[in-house]
Structure 1
Amino acid sequence: MTQTRLGPLLSTAVRQQRHQRGLSQCELAEMAGVSQSAVARIEGGDRTPSIAVLEALLAAMDVQLTIGVEPLDAHLDARIDDLAARPIVERIDELGLDRLLDRLTEFPQVITGSTAALLQGAPVPVEALEIAVRWQDSKRFTRWLEAAYGQRWNAAWGEFGGVWLEPEEQGEHPWSTRYGEIRATMCDELPETIEVRHAGPIYRVVPVTELELTEPRAGDLLRRYRARQLAGRAAGPDGR
């Protein structure tokens, strides 16, 4: 089957259902009658499953796929609208950002990505604390991860664990820790920041204008939010 935009959605659905049941990829593969490598490729987004394989995987977990039709990315727009109606402090508490940041004192870092956009008032989805860390601090970062029972994302397996803990390549690296999930971008020098305050704590964040230029995911979300704002103003108070 040709890879489509549904691929990442299906891989996420399978992975989340498996995690909720505490199953390993090998256990799910055996229950569904497929190979472990097939489950790994599907969850990693390298392969879009056939309908038969997808149904077998979901049926093994006592769930089934439902099909619906909606305008493109309507779910994302709805989520942005929902987040816009909620106080920033509430979202900070929900994500546990302060709890995690209070423990990140072993090495210098700054907040970037969607997390920085959130702290500057943008109602964008945030799944993990996003930070920038210098390469020269990678050893200190790794020691902190070890103490925090960290596991690095394994793209081949589609789950955390099974790879070296220390960052070795350019780009963003996700880790799970006992305090929450972290996505760290390794860099030569930390980017310039501004300070923002919410209910007491002060956060060092990369400015929104810089995020739009340097962070593709956060930049796309920020532009989408701004476009929705403009569309809402053009429609008027009665939505027309």
Structure 2
Amino acid sequence: MPSPRLAILIASVVREQRHLRDLTQCELAEAAGVSQAAVARIENGNRTPSITVLEALLAAMGVQLVVGVEPLDAHLDARMDDLAARPIAERIEALALDDLLDRLPDLPPVITGSTAALLQGAPVPVEALEIALRWQDSKLFTSWLENNYGRRWNARWSEWGGLWLEPEEPGEHRWSTTYGEIRATMCDELPETIEVRHGQRSYQVVPLVELELTDARAADLLRRYRDRRPTDAG
């Protein structure tokens, strides 16, 4: 299965090239011999196109595909360098994190994963709000998803939708909503947290040491960041 990173890169290239030529999705689709819905899915990063379709889209815009290689996950290093140069407040605002937290139902707002790492100062990429959610609160959360156009991630088809919203149903605990993407770690009891403050707001987050023990993805990012930090001289 193609990686989400590749889908995001292709989406960015197709969208950028289309905008440079002032084409609508319908115009590009007609020129490439595909449907507008297919162009929309590709540009949203919900579907990785076949090489044939991708080449048709690019050819319709007068460009062609060039294949290259780079060190594994080099894009993460570049992203971390960019994030390290930006204030935490700016990164929080870019994610619209506070707005999404304010709109969640009356649940204990325990933040985990890469989102918790960001709030503790680590310049790691954050793709979604990550929270710890108790199983006993799943019905309340499901009701909120229904009221906010929630769609569950369908890993089989690499797209949103086609699955029941309820966390109890099989599938990844990952949803898109009107206000952004949410990923949940379901648990019987919420993990221990610490409080961090930014501006006038406080957040309850899982501490970094615990993330490194319990969250494989966050742990990998934190180790990558730590290994790349220059050591102090002397």
TM-score normalized by structure 2?
0.78
Instruction: Name the CA shift for 1:14/1:84 in 2 (closer, same or farther; >3 Å).
Output: closer
| Identity percentage of aligned residues | 66
**Cα pair 2:196 2:204 within 8 Å, conserved:** yes
Distance in 1, Cα, partners of 2:60 & 2:132: 40
- Mapping of residues 122-133 of structure 1, within 5 Å: 122-133=122-133
The corresponding residue for 1:10 is: 6
Shift of 1:71: 2.9
Instruction: Name the CA shift for 1:201/1:182 in 2 (closer, same or farther; >3 Å).
Output: same
Shift of 1:152: 1.1
Distance in 2, Cα, partners of 1:163 & 1:17: 29
The corresponding residue for 1:68 is: 68
Letter in 1 for 2:231: R
**1:114 aligned to 2:114?**
yes
Instruction: Name the CA shift for 1:165/1:63 in 2 (closer, same or farther; >3 Å).
Output: farther
The corresponding residue for 2:214 is: 214
Distance in 2, Cα, partners of 1:224 & 1:118: 14
The corresponding residue for 2:134 is: 134
Instruction: Name the CA shift for 1:58/1:108 in 2 (closer, same or farther; >3 Å).
Output: farther
- Mapping of residues 47-62 of structure 1, within 5 Å: 49=50, 51-52=51-52, 54-56=54-56, 59=59
**Cα pair 1:109 1:134 within 8 Å, conserved:** no
Letter in 2 for 1:233: T
- Mapping of residues 87-106 of structure 1, within 5 Å: 87-106=87-106
Question: How big is each residue's C-alpha offset from its partner over 1:20-44, in whole Å with a ceiling of 9 and x where there is no partner?
Answer: 9997xxx89x9459xx9xx99x967
Distance in 1, Cα, partners of 2:170 & 2:224: 27
Shift of 1:168: 2.3
Count of matched residue pairs: 219
Give 5+ residue unaligned stretches, structure 2.
Answer: 19-23
Distance in 2, Cα, partners of 1:61 & 1:142: 43
Letter in 1 for 2:222: L
Letter in 2 for 1:188: D
Question: How big is each residue's C-alpha offset from its partner over 1:114-144, in whole Å with a ceiling of 9 and x where there is no partner?
Answer: 0000000000000110011011110000011
Distance in 2, Cα, partners of 1:206 & 1:62: 49
Instruction: Name the CA shift for 1:95/1:61 in 2 (closer, same or farther; >3 Å).
Output: farther
**Cα pair 2:111 2:131 within 8 Å, conserved:** yes
Distance in 1, Cα, partners of 2:66 & 2:53: 15
Instruction: Name the CA shift for 1:180/1:197 in 2 (closer, same or farther; >3 Å).
Output: same
The corresponding residue for 2:231 is: 233
Shift of 1:147: 1.6
The corresponding residue for 1:180 is: 180
Letter in 2 for 1:182: I
TM-score normalized by structure 1?
0.76
Distance in 1, Cα, partners of 2:73 & 2:197: 32
